[in-house]
Homo-oligomer: A and B are copies of this chain.
Amino acid sequence: MGALLDKDRLFPIEPGARALARRLYDLVRDLPIVSPHGHTDPRWFARDEPFADPAELLVIPDHYVLRMLISQGVRLDALGVARLSGERRETDRRAVWRLFAEHYHLFRATPTRLWLDHTFETLFSMTVPLGPETADCYYDRIAEQLAGAEFRPRRLFERFNLEVLATTEGALDDLAWHEQIAASGWSGRVITTYRPDSVTDPDYEGFGDNLRRFGEVTGCDTQSWSGYLEAHRRRRAFFRAAGATATDHGHPTADTADLSPAEAAELYALVAGGRAGAGEATLFRAQMLTEMARMSVEDGMVMQIHAGARRNHSPAIHRLFGRDKGFDMPGRASYVDALKPMLDAVGLEPGLNVIVFTLDETAYARELAPLAGAYPCLTLGPPWWFYDSVEGMLRHRRATVETAGFYNTAGFNDDTRAFPSIPARHDVARRVDCAFLAELVLTGRLREDEAADLAADLAVNLARAAYRL
């Protein structure tokens, strides 16, 4: 046992099962990390500058951390989070770190604690738990290390044994950082992902302007339906040229639609003209999922649907501090009915791969596993966001494997903005999967040789295959 980490953490407690889980884990612990979906900043790898300080790296940008602290009365201002106005009421990073350390007990038994302790011990070699008394010691040691060459983004990428890292960019992004990475001669594989929400969601901030810029950057007439679709095709090709193998779609629901071309053109005229009501905006988003799926049939890009987030639930937080401050909430979601129009259109197309994620885990067993266990184009994504946790992963496996099997799932995604947490997140997933496999073997549901195969499949092979990496 290390200072912070139990070497057998997350394995079953029963000694025989623990030993088997450890045996399986030993087969996969050192496999490279395949990170096919996430939100790290490509600028880090383009510029390769040192990270600023412990609070800037580990507290201020992490909405998991912010939300828990806010929930117990800590103010975003006190955490050094900048207001939309640009004002930052607390600029002393050490004070921010101390405030965080004083509240570290709030994270007991959360994934954030697992990820941070993993980072503290394995990356920063800390040997005492974080708390009020050790806050300064932590701050100093981490700050010192961050300044060194071994903690530059590219070096960390290599130390983390990343085989590939996908970032996510909007449809209007110029992909300059990716270009710079490619031009640099550095061998790290950092690819992009096409995320067109800002030009497919009529409720997105600045949607009208976005459509105009979408026309400019593509040279297409985005006032017409056919020109708009062509613009997507060109951007998809542009993203593919920068390494993208996948698109991603963050929608409030998984609703899809399949209008006739004439109906779709008519709907688009309303949308592009800024005259779409709430129902029409919903319908347009739904239609665009089917259009994106059709383009994926054409160009082979894997399609991801991240459905169900009610974003910016608190208007006060959103108004003062903007997006991604911990106030995105899940809600009920359905898939069997919602995906039907898209599946009716392209559900049996060879070569199509649509990976579906949910924030409503009641859909795992009831809808997603039955769908993924029948339609060749559907793959079940890993537990997302609040479910990217030990218990969340176990529930996901227990709810889905009996109906969808393992081979209709997409391996693990870390889906994170928190670069240093990537090894921790994959390590948690590998441990939980090995624990689950050990249980299957010892209850006679799997042979050990099969479990060994599956451990590697779940760690890397399924992700490589699902994302065509």
Say yes or no for A254: interface residue by CB 8 A criterion.
Answer: no
Contact A370-B13, Cβ < 8 Å, known A402-B389, A450-B108: no
A68 to chain B, nearest CB (A): 6
Enumerate chain B residues within 8 angstroms of A73, measured Cβ to Cβ. Answer: 350, 376
B-facing residues in A351-401 (Cβ within 8 Å): 359-362, 365-367, 369-376, 378, 386-387, 389-392, 395, 398-399, 401
Enumerate chain B residues within 8 angstroms of A313, measured Cβ to Cβ. Answer: 336, 340, 343, 374
Contact A9-B367, Cβ < 8 Å, known A71-B373, A334-B332: no
Enumerate chain B residues within 8 angstroms of A350, measured Cβ to Cβ. Answer: 73
Chain B proximity mask over A313-336: 1 for CB below 8 Å, otherwise 0: 111110000000011011110101
Q: Do A391 and B386 touch (CB < 8 A)?
A: no
Say yes or no for A407: interface residue by CB 8 A criterion.
Answer: yes
Q: Do A68 and B373 touch (CB < 8 A)?
A: yes
Enumerate chain B residues within 8 angstroms of A359, measured Cβ to Cβ. Answer: 366
Q: Do B336 and A109 touch (CB < 8 A)?
A: no
A303 to chain B, nearest CB (A): 17
Contact A13-B9, Cβ < 8 Å, known A68-B373, A110-B403, A343-B314: no
Enumerate chain B residues within 8 angstroms of A70, measured Cβ to Cβ. Answer: 374-376
Cβ contact of A6, chosen from B390, B401, B444, cutoff 8 A: B444
B-facing residues in A216-239 (Cβ within 8 Å): none
Q: Which of A109, A332, A347, A389 neighbours the largest number of chain B CB atoms within 10 Å of its CB?
A: A109
Say yes or no for A11: interface residue by CB 8 A criterion.
Answer: yes
Q: Do B5 and A72 touch (CB < 8 A)?
A: no
Say yes or no for A260: interface residue by CB 8 A criterion.
Answer: no
Say yes or no for A67: interface residue by CB 8 A criterion.
Answer: yes
Q: Which of A16, A330, A374, A392 neighbours the largest number of chain B CB atoms within 10 Å of its CB?
A: A374
A112 to chain B, nearest CB (A): 9
Contact A329-B72, Cβ < 8 Å, known A109-B445, A313-B336, A402-B110: no
> CA separation between A376 and B78, bound complex, in Å?
15
Chain B proximity mask over A1-21: 1 for CB below 8 Å, otherwise 0: 000011011111110110000
Q: Which of A313, A340, A407, A440 neighbours the largest number of chain B CB atoms within 10 Å of its CB?
A: A313
Q: Which residue of B lies closest to A388 (CB)?
A: B402
Cβ contact of A376, chosen from B72, B109, B370, cutoff 8 A: B72
> CA separation between A73 and B374, bound complex, in Å?
9
Say yes or no for A114: interface residue by CB 8 A criterion.
Answer: yes
Say yes or no for A106: interface residue by CB 8 A criterion.
Answer: yes
Say yes or no for A408: interface residue by CB 8 A criterion.
Answer: yes
Q: Do A361 and B365 touch (CB < 8 A)?
A: yes
Cβ contact of A330, chosen from B17, B336, B390, B450, cutoff 8 A: B336
> CA separation between A13 and B317, bound complex, in Å?
46
> CA separation between A327 and B316, bound complex, in Å?
42
Say yes or no for A404: interface residue by CB 8 A criterion.
Answer: yes
Q: Do B439 and A67 touch (CB < 8 A)?
A: no
Enumerate chain B residues within 8 angstroms of A386, measured Cβ to Cβ. Answer: 365, 369-370, 402-403
**25 A-B pairs with C-beta separation under 8 A:** A5-B444, A6-B444, A8-B444, A9-B444, A11-B443, A13-B16, A13-B443, A71-B373, A71-B375, A108-B405, A109-B405, A109-B406, A110-B401, A114-B445, A310-B336, A314-B343, A315-B344, A316-B344, A329-B367, A329-B371, A332-B334, A359-B366, A361-B365, A391-B401, A391-B402
Across chains A and B, which 9 residue pairs bring their CB atoms closest together, nearest first? A9-B444, A6-B444, A389-B402, A67-B374, A329-B336, A391-B398, A13-B442, A386-B403, A109-B401
Residues in chain A within 8 A of chain B (CB atoms): 5-6, 8-14, 16-17, 67-68, 70-73, 105-111, 113-114, 129, 310, 313-317, 326-327, 329-332, 334, 336-337, 340, 343-344, 347-348, 350, 359-362, 365-367, 369-376, 378, 386-387, 389-392, 395, 398-399, 401-408, 439-440, 442-447, 450, 454
